[in-house]
Structure 1
Amino acid sequence: MMGFQPADKYEYTYSGSEMNVPLYVGTMDNSENIEVAAMLFLNGEVQPYSYTLNGKVSEKQMVHYFTLGPNETINFTALVTPISGEKGDVIGMQFATVFKSDYLPEQDGNTSFGNCGKINSTICIPVNMQASGINETKADIVKTTITDIPEETMAMLEGLVTNDTDNPLDYSSYLKIKTEDNRNCLYSENGKLNLTLQIYGGKEVAKKITFFINNEPVKVDNCDYCEINTTTDKMTVFDVCIDVSEYKELCSFYAVAATSGEDYLIQDDTTQSERCLLINK
């Protein structure tokens, strides 16, 4: 369980003062304590925030972690100064959590994450920008290639819809990390992780793609995120290089694509790639 706390109106206005955003995280049916990572996306970017809980104010971080007992819910208020957005914009804000964020599979044997490490996100709610945000983040404008979607991919997607006349690409967008062996293992080389990513499905929108190691955002080519535009009924392919030289031998890795600008009105899903085991040697 997670989301924005119940309100009469799900809409915020930024006028230059910190926004108070009431949120909650909770669990059901777990028999032991679990760790949940909690983050905000604003204008497609990971939004740093601090929060108040039991009269105390946390440090400002990109991601916060909560340890939840069985059937426990924590209500807290995020304190948000928009990282992005210009005066006059209306941008989308989403709350997202990662269940069992500290889970890592074994290197040998089954390397599947199962449901662990999977991101869950709310719909976007509007933020009316009566003042500009901080706007100090940097986008990596990657070179993209637009291709047809492979027949085997389309066949798999068509099996997910019940009506033969429906276009399966209309329902969801997909973000994939291309691997040589089709397993969820990634291998660095000389401290660098070179990746090819594929995004397809959904509407034609602007996307910002952030990369996460152990649930924390990482730089790509000294930038905070990649910025691309998707193309209807086509696959967008691009390459990135990430410096992983400072990380441990085994880490979790995934990418998240979030819609930016007012395109959230067209499509507001936040798409996570498969969760991968990064083997860093």
Structure 2
Amino acid sequence: MDRKYESLLLFLIVIMVVGKAQGATRVGFYASTCPNVESLVRSSVQFFISSDASLAPALLRMHFHDCFVQGCDASVLIEGSSTEKTAGGNTGLRGFNVIMDAKARVEGMCPGVVSCADILALAARDAVVLSNGPSWDVPLGRLDGRRSVASDVANIPSPTDSLDILIQKFASRGLTTRDLVALSGGHTIGQADCQFFSYRLYNYKATGMADPTLNSTSLRQLQNICPGNGNNNGRAAALDKGSRNRWDSRYFQNLLAGNAVLESDQALAADPSTRSLVNTFATSSDSFDDAFTRSMVKLAHVGVKTRAHGGEIRRMCSFVNF
């Protein structure tokens, strides 16, 4: 079969799977079985973020990493020696205690009713809202998966991926290039450890020089954060220069100015296929917020588990039921 038609067939299959998943979830799913679930989750998220604002982007990242592997099934929460949590692509994931606390609150009111996957999806939304970002209705009704294997994380988007590879990875999950740019805007909050970008600062592509796409002022600032001696443990830089913990469209303005910390982010402004979207979102926060919320709903429908898929409602988010 021609490779062009193979790609088209794969995309259509993904769309069919996503469509079936959307049919399994709905807004207000727990209206009669656990009507206070959203307020219970929100109370946990608010409690933790009030003392540590960095947990907001951590929860958003955790939800993204969960959905991109086995689908939105809370498999990233499962403990074990070779589970998704241990994979290199999930280095630095944080906020598990927030989800465990929310699960405990929900179980206290509605035992055995609400999945960890739904709690994680709600927590990601609440984290954005508490960062002064937009809100959206989260369709609920996911079940938790039972598979969590470190090797499955290999295909998660990486900061070193080219734009073509990122587009392919998103397409494999039924997500468009517009979704890629909008969801990347989640980097308007949070930070990145030096290990994910320091290669751009000193010997980019073995040239002995820095990445030429980096703004010279940002380069000096990043070099101060991540010195060339390699002693960078615990060091990190804001993904959105000048706006680490505030939700806004400045992230896209930074891309246009060459201030992106991650190479994969800077690529969005460099390529004509995505630069127009970057320009739109940079000049209109409303356009960005609308696109982001729509893309988050699509993301949260990826690979939703049902009973037919072997899904369950875990009693504890960190372990499958026995």
TM-score in terms of structure 1 length = 0.26
Indicate the structure with greater strand content. 1
Compare relative contact order (CA 8 Å, sep 6+) and give the higher one, 1 or 2.
2
Indicate the structure with greater helix content. 2
